[in-house]
Amino acid sequence: MLIVISPSKTLDFKPQQLIGEYTQPEYLKESSKLISELRKLTPEDIAELMSVSPAISRLNYERYFHWNTPFTPQNAKQAILAFKGEVYNGMQAQTFSKSDFDNAQQHLRILSGLYGVIRPLDLIQPYRLEMGTKLMIKSTTGLYKFWNNKITNNLNLQLAAINSNVIINLASAEYFKSIHPKLLKATIITPEFREERNGKYSMIVMYAKKARGMMTRFIIQNKLNNAEDIKLFNSEGYQFNTRLTKENTWVFTR
């Protein structure tokens, strides 16, 4: 199986001593093109484009200015340890063993507006660029058009490499839109996580994000290869709900 997840806005670039291994993002050439366009923007432009505060726009204006290659452990950090947020809080990669990192490197991909597709141990530098951003890149409007089929093609190559035809979609709708399902040589299974409130089950975003990370951890640490096995996921009270599950949208409730 191949798992896909979203990045997070919250980042942690403090030095880490957990793992020394690292790889380079596969689309740094494309990332450099995006950075060149982002450097043309003023902090005010960034604030308007991304609907963020002046403080956040200034921070990212400076990030784009300082972004540079080559990436090294001194100026960048492994993606799985750099991203912080509910998904990554649920995953707790900082507690992974060497075997867990190796398995994640094979079976987990992070979708990114700036980097396209990231492997867990790929070095990244700080950035903010959500996939839905309508950035003008020459005559192309928006990152979905910029990335076009590259992300889908990359995932197909990795599916072939691990001899699998199943993708576990634990990404948000915004990021999964960067994938073209009709071109993907895989069955897509999308787990959903819902909470019981007053006799009804509904999705609460904060809990659902953390649950996506917990399921990612469950798959990686148990080295699951059969999609049916994820129905055994039971972290923090979640259980597979046969009644609410429809086709390849698998619902877990608590």
> How far apart are the C-alpha atoms of 236 and 30, rounded to whole Å?
40
Q: What is the mean pLDDT of residues 186-210?
A: 95
Tokens of 145: 């058009």
Q: How far is CA 160 from CA 26, 83, 94, in A?
A: 17, 27, 29
> How far apart are the C-alpha atoms of 169 and 156, rounded to whole Å?
14
Residues 59-104: tens digit of each pLDDT = 999 999 999 999 999 999 999 999 999 999 999 999 999 999 999 9
- Percentage of residues of the chain with pLDDT beyond 90: 95
Confirm if 189 and 2 have CB atoms less than 8 A apart: no
Please give the pLDDT value at position 17: 85
Tokens of 212: 């996506």
* Res 138 pLDDT > 90: no
Q: 85: left (phi > 0), else alpha (psi -120 to 50), else beta?
A: left
* Res 204 pLDDT > 90: yes
96-110: buried (b, 16+ CB within 10 Å) or exposed (e) per residue?
Answer: beeebbbbbbbbbbb
- The full length of the chain comes to 254
Find, among 122, 94, 91, the residue nearest to 3 by Cα: 91
State phi, psi for 106 to the nearest 5 degrees.
-80, -35
Rounded to the nearest angstrom, the gap between the alpha carbon of residue 51 and the centroid of all alpha carbons in its chain is 21
Please give the pLDDT value at position 16: 87
* Res 38 pLDDT > 90: yes
Residues 16-34: tens digit of each pLDDT = 888 999 999 999 999 999 9
Domain boundaries, the chain: 2-253
| Max Cα-Cα span within the chain | 54
